[in-house]
Amino acid sequence: MSDFLLVHGSCHGAWCWRDLIPALERLGHRARAIDLPGHGDAPCPVEDITLEAYGDAILAAIDTPVMLVGHSMAGFAISAAAEKAPERIARLVYLCAYAPRNGVSLVEMRREAPRQPLLEAIEKTADGLGFTFRDSHLLDALYHDCPDGTVEYARERLCVQAIRPQATPIRLGTNYAGVAKSYIRCTEDRAIPPEYQGTMTEGWPRGDLYEMPTGHSPFFADPEGLARRLDLIARG
């Protein structure tokens, strides 16, 4: 049995893991999810939300070493946590996520991608400190292969995403380098281009690379399939 801690992506919260948690438990694992600062049940003024605060929130939720899963932008958050306290993390699992490089921000990595599919899907808040997903783009960008009712469920829960954590260059060193890592690429992703997900993991051991034939939200589209892949990763 492994202990999974699940960390959501932009504008989401712990709620997005609703279907994956019981699927992992049926395979004998412990699974739980957290809200990063400013998301879900963790309110925080947008101007106070930082990449460091994300990492600290993750570490505050860990009592024994975990399989730390980060979706999308949470690739940066889980990496920041690993750099600060690698002994608390058994493995980092990037789920169609940004796999960061030292000294580079998420915003910079997004611009490196060969395509920018989210440009039309998001809009900045009036104060310029955050962004939200446009309702008209939710289905196509995030949930196109998910069950009926997913968009409605998400629409009620999506929140403002602070820009500051994504515009902050991450600092990674030997602590981060020493933590085991796996990546799950989603081949039908319409948010982070699948080809760029491949670029980010060039040079990784092939045994640490997995794929799913889903879009950007496999926890809704195929929670059982995602649980099986996480089970394989946990079993080594």
User: Which phi and psi angles does 91 have, rounded to 5°?
Assistant: -165, 145
Q: What is the pLDDT of residue 87?
A: 98
CA distance 172 to 104: 10
Burial of 115 (0-12, 13-18, 19+ CB in 10 A): exposed
Using 50, 70 and 90 to split pLDDT, how confident is the model at 84? Answer: very high
Average pLDDT score over the chain: 98
Average pLDDT over residues 97-126: 96
The pLDDT value recorded for residue 13 is 98
Residue 26: band (very low, low, confident or very high) from pLDDT cuts 50, 70, 90: very high
CB hemisphere CA count around 107 (13 angstroms) = 12
Q: Could you give the CA distance from residue 120 to residue 110 in angstroms, rounded to a whole number?
A: 14
| pLDDT, position 96 | 98
- The whole-angstrom separation of Cα 41 and Cα 82 is 24
Q: How far is 225 from 44, CA to CA, in rounded Å?
A: 34
**Residue range 30-50: mean pLDDT, rounded:** 97
Instruction: Please give the structure tokens belonging to residue 125.
Output: 């808040």
Give the pLDDT band of residue 127 (cuts 50, 70, 90). Answer: very high
DSSP for 127-178 reads TSSEEEE-GGGHHHHH-TTSPTTHHHHHHTT--PEESHHHHSPP---HHHHT
Average pLDDT over residues 195-199: 98
pLDDT of residue 112: 96
Q: Which residues pair with 211 in a beta bridge?
A: 185
Report pLDDT digits (tens) over 131-167.
999 999 999 999 999 999 999 999 999 999 999 999 9
Model pLDDT, residue 92: 98
What single DSSP character describes residue 125?
Answer: -
Mean pLDDT of all residues in 87-113: 98
Q: Beta-carbon neighbour count of residue 74 at 10 Å? A: 26
Average pLDDT over residues 38-62: 97
Distance CA 120, CA 141 (A): 10
Question: Mean of the pLDDT values across residues 31-50?
Answer: 97
pLDDT score at 90 = 98
Angstrom distance (rounded) from CA 122 to CA 135: 9
